[in-house]
Structure 1
Amino acid sequence: MWKTVNKITILGGGRWGTALGLYLSKKGFELMFFDRNPAVVESLRKGKDPYWELEFAKNPRATSVLDEAIEFSDLIVVALPVQVIREVLQNLVLKDKVIVSASKGLEVGSSKRVSQIIEELCIDCKTFVLSGPSFAEEVAKGLPCAVVLAGKDLETLRQIRDVFHSEVFRVYLSEDMVGVELGGALKNVIAIACGISDGLGFGDNARASLITRGLAEIVRIGSSLGGNRETFYGLSGLGDLVLTSTSSKSRNRTFGFLLGQGLSVEEAENRIKQVVEGKETVKAVKKLTEELNIYAPISWAVYQVVVEKISPELVARNLLLRPPQREFEYL
């Protein structure tokens, strides 16, 4: 039985980590943030977020000393960019902690999900995954959303749900950690594709087609990697895909839109000034799908634009010229 929680550590003082902190502060929890940016740490210590000028209900603690943050609580929320998680955690001795991953993406090189990285580095810790359609700014402002919390230990899963759940932050439960994580990671690649399409001026019909066929691609990849098919039609799959592929608030869609408008990858990143997880995840997706012989034409097209720097117009034309397929593979 997990003891009552009143203190929470959040690794990452970026927008998502801060948004979760603002929300959890309203619920009465004592918080400790870890972040490497001194300006972010100082702002958080003063009880103000660095992004939307919102105030915490209860001033959090904040530090750039990782050990200090880890010692603060037995419940740790990981809200770091995926590609730095291994670097941050690898020299720690983490035992008997409950860790909730709120980061979405796949590690380049290993192609591992975040929970796999955490379980590799953290001995005897219980790992869970929080994902779903949830823009940071809206969560920070207390606007309603619904997410999925996944894990194998059902008793602890329910206890973590009670930590996060409220009328404005509804938490649904799942045992499918693989599917929940992959849905949150793979949708970012499809969102870049939708942004490219919008940037090229292809219109609403093309975007709807990309979302639908992108979902089919997510299901194909995700189920091949061990996720349950039904998970990808839920909040962490279809829900997050629709949000990220259609909103101007989406950094992945915006990144793709700028590429479609003719900006280079570097120019688009400089314009956004935030981590674009899909830009890195697509590299892991390309590696995985080739190794496992999984058909993923939309993801491959994004890889061609983002990594191989091929013209979006040419890539889009080649994608459209593919031979017609059956809509459902079992027909």
Structure 2
Amino acid sequence: MKLEPLGASPVPQIACPYASLAVLGAGSWGTALAATARNAGVAVTLWGRSDNTIQTITTRHENTRYLPGVTLPKGLMATTDMAAAVQGAEAVVLVVPSSQLREVARQLAGVIAPGTPVAVCAKGIERDTGLLMTQIAEAELGPRPVGVLSGPTFARETALGHPTAATVAFPFSYADRISPEESTAARFAVSFSTEAFRTYVSDDVTGVEIGGAVKNVIAIACGMMTGAGFAENTRAALITRGLDEMMQLAVALGGRRETLTGLSGLGDLSLTCSSLTSRNMALGEQLGRGIARGDCFEGRPVVVEGEHNAVSVTDLAGRLGLAMPICEAVRAIVVGGRPIGETFAELWARPIESEVRAMELCLDHPASDKAVAALAQRMA
């Protein structure tokens, strides 16, 4: 008998992709995901509200409003009729802004077949209820598999075929753990897997969602400090301590710290906090340069998820008894109107803590007064 060498890699299992998907939301990310699944060989129908957007996708194979210049794959169907989009679809992907998720999920509930799994791509926490996006979908759609797709992804790069990775998370049943290749998460993962798009599988829906919600707030903070003239040291500190805030909230809600070190946590945080392609980073950068909120983005009414998340995240943290000082600082600025320099100076002048939380150390900061004075003056 031939023995396998110790430490040999397990034989990969074969997961069966969904034959057909409905992608609801014809913005940049929805279109990029629809194109990715189509390139993976899946039959895809993309739904959107705009007649003009859907017509250009159908006739020109291009979303001229959200992804101009990107040729979409042949065979990608598009419609403004949600019922037609989901008819016969084996699975559905919800790719709408967090503020619209409940409305669209409620509309979807009237046309989706029983048991059809749904992956949510919106990132955030509902302000009034404190619910995560998948919890909103579950409340509106009733009993069915509901999960999340998230990660460090810019839509245009994804649509252009740049190497990209993301995470798909769904709750795992006992049967899923026995045969993980048959799980909903695995089937979604292979439905989007192409030569460029690589998808990882998780069972930690809460951890993945918290990463997506909090990273936008931290990105605003990084943008503010960048706009104020600070550089890599400052951004690295905010990313690292921001990650700790993400981990705290995730664990308090039943997620795992390990998840936040992955693509949907540290990966998404690093990307969003390091590029002005991110609307959150871009908003913070403009505010840091002293541009009034109404004049940011040249006066255009650009929706920035981190502004809303700054409130919902800190409200939820407050109910859980958690301190999230970076998120609280962003909220104080974008909602409370506090000066950026003064707010960040106070953030840096907080008492000295241990980095390992188990130590429970809190020391007086010997230079707190100087920190407040110096930083506030420099950022004035």
Which category describes the TM-score, using the shorter chain as reference length? over 0.9
- Pair 1:49-2:77 in alignment: no
**Residue 105 of structure 1: how far off its partner (Å):** 1.5
Unaligned runs of 5+ in 1: none
Look up the SS of the partner of 1:246 in the other structure.
coil
Q: 1:70 corresponds to which residue?
A: 86
Unaligned runs of 5+ in 2: 1-14, 177-182, 360-380
1:77-134 Cα shifts (integer Å, max 9, x gaps): 1110011010122243342211111222122211211111111111232112111111
For 1:275 and 1:166, the matched residues in 2 are separated by: 31
Q: 2:103 corresponds to which residue?
A: 87
Q: Is the 8 A contact 1:146 1:169 kept in 2?
A: yes
For 1:323 and 1:31, the matched residues in 2 are separated by: 54
Superposition pairs for residues 229-268 of structure 1, below 5 Å? 229-268=257-296
Out of 12, 18, 22, the position equivalent to 2:35 is: 22
**Residue 316 of structure 1: how far off its partner (Å):** 1.2
Q: 1:295 to 1:240 in 2, by over 3 A?
A: same
Larger radius of gyration: 2
Look up the SS of the partner of 2:104 in the other structure.
helix
Q: 1:129 corresponds to which residue?
A: 148
For 2:22 and 2:82, the matched residues in 1 are separated by: 10
Letter in 2 for 1:213: R
Look up the SS of the partner of 1:128 in the other structure.
strand
Q: Is the 8 A contact 1:30 1:58 kept in 2?
A: no
Number of aligned residues: 330
Q: 1:145 corresponds to which residue?
A: 164
Q: 1:191 corresponds to which residue?
A: 219
- Pair 1:209-2:228 in alignment: no
Q: Is the 8 A contact 2:17 2:191 kept in 1?
A: no
Q: 1:5 corresponds to which residue?
A: 18
Q: Is the 8 A contact 1:25 1:56 kept in 2?
A: no
Greater displacement, 46-55 / 204-213 = 46-55
Out of 329, 339, 351, the position equivalent to 1:323 is: 351
**Residue 270 of structure 1: how far off its partner (Å):** 5.4
Look up the SS of the partner of 1:77 in the other structure.
strand
Letter in 2 for 1:16: W
For 1:54 and 1:38, the matched residues in 2 are separated by: 19
For 2:50 and 2:335, the matched residues in 1 are separated by: 28
For 1:144 and 1:3, the matched residues in 2 are separated by: 22
Letter in 2 for 1:212: T
Q: Is the 8 A contact 1:8 1:30 kept in 2?
A: yes
Q: 2:47 corresponds to which residue?
A: 34
Letter in 1 for 2:117: V
**Residue 67 of structure 1: how far off its partner (Å):** 2.3
Look up the SS of the partner of 1:124 in the other structure.
coil
Q: Is the 8 A contact 1:179 1:228 kept in 2?
A: yes
1:191-235 Cα shifts (integer Å, max 9, x gaps): 111001101112211111111111111111111111101111111
What RMSD in Å do the two structures reach over aligned CA positions? 1.8
Greater displacement, 195-204 / 270-279 = 270-279
Out of 161, 164, 185, the position equivalent to 2:192 is: 164
Q: Is the 8 A contact 1:195 1:253 kept in 2?
A: yes
Q: 1:43 to 1:114 in 2, by over 3 A?
A: same
Greater than 6 Å deviation, 4+ residue runs: none
Letter in 2 for 1:69: A
- Pair 1:102-2:134 in alignment: no
Q: 1:162 to 1:76 in 2, by over 3 A?
A: same
Q: Is the 8 A contact 2:167 2:201 kept in 1?
A: yes
Q: 1:309 corresponds to which residue?
A: 337
